[in-house]
Amino acid sequence: MASGALVLPHGSAGAGAALHVTHWLPEGQPRAAVLLAHGYAEHAGRYEHVAKRLTDAGYAVYAVDHWGHGRSDGTPGFVPRFSAFTDGMAELLTLVEVNHGDTPRLLLGHSMGGLIATLFLIQRQDAFAAAALSGPAILPAAPPSRFTVWISRFLSRFFPRLGVLALDANGVSRDPAVVAAYLADPLVYTGKIGARLGKEMMNAMAAAQAGAPKITLPILLQHGEADALTAPAGSRYLFDHVASKDKRLEIYPGLFHEIYNEPERDAVLDDLVGWFDAHVRRPQ
C-alpha cells in the first residue's frame, strides 16, 4: 500500500482541496486498474482486505478519500456540492491514466461511493471496461415525506452544516468486531450528516435514477438483503433501468450493509473478482 495526494482543480466545488490517495499494486504488470469509491463517513483504508483480494488476482487498486473524508481536506458531514466527490474521481482517473497508460480500467463503488460511481459512469463510462457497485445509495432506506424534503432544502440553504441525521453503526455488519473497529477508527466520522450533504445526496440519487438508462457498460450490482442503510430496491432499480446488456444483480440473503465485511465476505468477494476476471483479458 502506498499513498499520495491530489488537488481538486479550479472550477470544482472543492477547488484547492487536497485529497488523500491510496493505491495497492500487484506483483508484476497489473492486468487492470480498479478505481474504488468508498462510502459515506469512512475512508479508503478500510478496503485493505478488498484490495488484497484484487491485487492477488493481478489488479492494481486506486482509491481517494472523498472531500471531507478520512485524510482529505474538507468538513466531515458536509459538502458544498455533490460534484466535489465526482471531481475527485475524475482526478483519480487522470492519475491512473498517467501511471498505467492503456491498461484496462474498472470502477468499484460502495454505498455513497456506489452513488458517486453511478454518476461518474453517466459522465465517463467510456473510460472503463466494467463496473461493480456494492450496496449503492440509489434509493433512500425510507422515502422522505414532502415535509422532510421541504425542511431539508430550507436547512441546506440557511443552516448547511447543521447535523440532521445519524447513521446506526450496528447496521454496518453482523460481525461485532467490524462494528467495534468502525467505531474505534479515528478516520471514521460518527457525527451527523449535515443538512447540505443530505440535500445534495437526495439530488444525486434523483440524477442517478434519471441517468441510469444512459449506462451501457457491463455492471455487477451486489446488495445485502437485510441492508437497513441503503435500500436493496436501489440496486434493483439500477438493474431494471440501465441499458447494459451485460448486467448481473446479486442480493445476498440476510447480509447487512457492508457485504465485503460480513461473515460471508469471501463468497461475496469471489463474485466481485470473478466479475472483473470475466471482463478483462488475462496477460499473455
Tell me which residues are annotated as active site.
111, 227, 257
Q: Is the dihedral of CA 251, 254, 260, 263 positive or negative?
A: negative
Look at the block and give the residue holding cell 454496518.
172
Q: How far apart are the first and last CA of the chain?
A: 26
Q: Which three cell numbers stand for residue 109?
A: 463503488
Burial of 203 (0-12, 13-18, 19+ CB in 10 A): middle
Q: Helices 265-278 and 48-56 sit at what angle, rounded to 10 degrees? A: 40
Cβ within 8 Å of residue 33, ≥6 positions away: 59, 60, 61, 62, 96, 99, 100, 103, 104, 105, 106
